[in-house]
Every structure is written in C-alpha cells, then in structure tokens.
C-alpha cells in the first residue's frame, strides 16, 4: 500500500492525534504517503449544550464513519473515550495506541489544588461523570457546563467565567499546556478509554488493518477492552455518570469503577484485581456487581 487517507476531526487536539498516528506509520513504513482529511462532526458544531442532551459519543464519530463507508478515507483516528462501545456494522477498532496520562486535570488561575476551592466555587466541565464525582467530593460546588475545544475552554477560564475547570490531562499535555495543570485528580475515576487513541477501519479492509497493527499496544488494548465491556453492560454513555479505569501492572489487572447519581449523593463503587490470564468477562462481572449493589436503582431514577 503506497498511500492512505486518515480521517480526523478538525480541532487542534484531533489534528495532533491524527498527525501522531501518521508519524508513527511513517516511522514503520517510510515510503508510505499519508494524507489527512478534516471532517467537521456534529459534536464539534453544537457547542451550546451538554453532550448528554444532544446525543452523546456518536456525535464525534458518525461523520467519520460515513466517509469510511464511502471509501473517502481509509481509517479514522479517535480519542478512545469518544468511541461508542458498540460500533455500527462494517467497522472495527484495529488498534489502540499506548495509553498516556489517563486522569483528569484540575486547572485554575486562582487556586493550586482542588481542596483549596472556596465554598460555592464555579467549576466548569461538560462531563456528567466528572460533575457527579466532583459533587460527591464537594457538594458545595457550582458546576457550570463547559463546551468547546481545549483552547476555547482555557480562554473561558482565563476570562474569569470559572474558578476552575476540569479537562483530560493528556489533551493538555499533547497541546503543550502541561504547565496549566495544577493537580491530577486521581480520586476521580476516568472515562473508559481516556488517554488512548483508537484507529477505526472498515471491517473488511484487511490491508489497512494489517498496516496499523504495529501501532496497537497490547496492554492498553486489553485494559480498555475491560473498561468498554463494563460500560456496554451498564449501558453507559455521556448520559450516565459512570467511571471505569483498568491498569495492568506486573501481570495483574486492577480495575476501579463507579456508578453515580447526577448530584453525587448516591453512588456505588468497586475495585477488582485479577491475573491478566483471568480478565475475560471481567467487565461484565464488575458491571453486574455494581448494578446489583444499587447501581440499577440509581440508573432507573435518572431515566425516570
């Protein structure tokens, strides 16, 4: 294969991600010609409403999948956390890159740590998962919706609209904003797949799947597969405050998960650790444990 077309959203972070994949492929296949195709997704166009109210994760992948289906691009690069757990027929994730920083970052011009926020502080986030866990820790906070790309969100913080905002740390690092991170919020369980990139291809395109296979990181692929299995089992999306994070270390996998009410007052959480050889079905087991321990009632109340 002499040339491939990579589909990507047009935001600066998405372009960084696509360019990273392109550069990694060029390292392996120096003669390969790579073209980036910019696609404006629905999620990028609607910026005045929370994702939970306008359709969730598929808003960032649908247009890219349409171009994949038409053969206008050969592969699409996504933040794995933005990819729905069930892909449309005809598509598959061919590779998941090595995960970078998985946690959320506390960003503020006024305060150096989350615990320093005064009572009633305004904190910006577009994520129900983040919002619920922030309120679980600090019910006094005022959570305000924050949409837009990373630069837009930082500008709103700098303009004084918020006392602090919460962003994925890896996105800040990739765009050269690591110095803006005041604190990593390790107590807040990340979104499934956070910190990793997914490469999506047509299911029947064996040539492109083989081309990107060297970019797959086995440990990240296995850990995020557990996370996504958990999310699929609980019916998780942008519309449900659910967090799940799995990590492989020394041949063992540890996974933390949480289902919460929107206000953080009701929640169930669990941590499991097993040998890597026993992770098959672990996401389902963890999901059913939390659902049986009260998660089902929490989700039912929200849907009602």
Active site residues: 82
Q: What is the DSSP letter of 99?
A: P
- Closest to 202 (Cα-Cα) out of 98, 96, 97, 87: 87
Q: Is residue 122 a contact partner of residue 112, using CB atoms and an 8 Å limit?
A: no
* Residue 201 bridge partners (DSSP): 92
- Cα distance between residue 150 and residue 143, in whole Å: 18
Q: What is the DSSP letter of 190?
A: -
Q: Is residue 43 a contact partner of residue 138, using CB atoms and an 8 Å limit?
A: no
Handedness of CA 233, 237, 243, 244 (dihedral sign): positive
- State CA 113 to chain mean position distance: 23
Query: Which residues are within 8 A (CB) of 43 and not within 5 positions of it... i.e. 6 or more apart?
Result: 51, 59, 60, 82
* Residue 122 bridge partners (DSSP): 142
Helices 282-290, 218-234: crossing angle, 10 deg rounding: 40
**Residue 191: exposed, middle, or buried by beta-carbon count in 10 A (0-12, 13-18, 19+)?**
buried
SS3 57: helix
Structure tokens at 115: 């615990």
Q: What is the DSSP letter of 292?
A: I
SS3 77: strand
């Amino acid at each position: 294969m002499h040339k491939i077309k990579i589909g990507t959203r047009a935001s600066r972070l998405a372009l960084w991600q696509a360019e990273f994949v392109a550069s990694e492929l060029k390292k392996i296949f120096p003669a390969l010609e790579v073209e980036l195709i910019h696609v404006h997704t629905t999620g990028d166009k609607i910026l005045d409403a929370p994702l939970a109210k306008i359709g969730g994760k598929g808003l960032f992948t649908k247009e890219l999948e349409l171009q994949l289906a038409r053969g206008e691009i050969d592969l699409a690069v996504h933040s794995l956390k933005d990819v729905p757990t069930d892909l449309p027929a005809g598509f598959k994730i061919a590779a998941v890159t090595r995960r970078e920083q998985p946690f959320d970052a506390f960003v503020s011009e006024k305060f150096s740590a989350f615990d320093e926020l005064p009572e009633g502080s305004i904190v910006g986030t577009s994520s129900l998962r983040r919002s619920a866990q922030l309120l679980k820790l600090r019910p006094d906070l005022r959570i305000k919706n924050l949409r837009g790309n990373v630069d837009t969100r930082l500008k709103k913080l700098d303009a004084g609209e918020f006392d602090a905002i919460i962003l994925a740390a890896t996105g800040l690092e990739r765009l050269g904003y690591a110095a803006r991170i005041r604190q990593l919020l390790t107590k807040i369980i990340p979104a499934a797949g956070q910190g990793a990139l997914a490469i999506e291809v047509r299911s029947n395109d064996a040539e492109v799947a083989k081309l990107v296979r060297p970019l797959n990181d086995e440990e990240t692929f296995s850990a995020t597969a557990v996370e996504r299995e958990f999310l699929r089992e609980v019916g998780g999306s942008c519309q449900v405050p659910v967090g799940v994070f799995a990590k492989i270390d020394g041949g063992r996998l540890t996974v933390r998960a949480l289902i919460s009410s929107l206000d953080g007052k009701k929640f169930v959480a669990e941590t499991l650790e097993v040998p890597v050889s026993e992770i098959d079905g672990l996401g389902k087991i963890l999901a059913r444990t939390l659902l049986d321990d009260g998660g089902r009632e929490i989700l039912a109340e929200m849907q009602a």
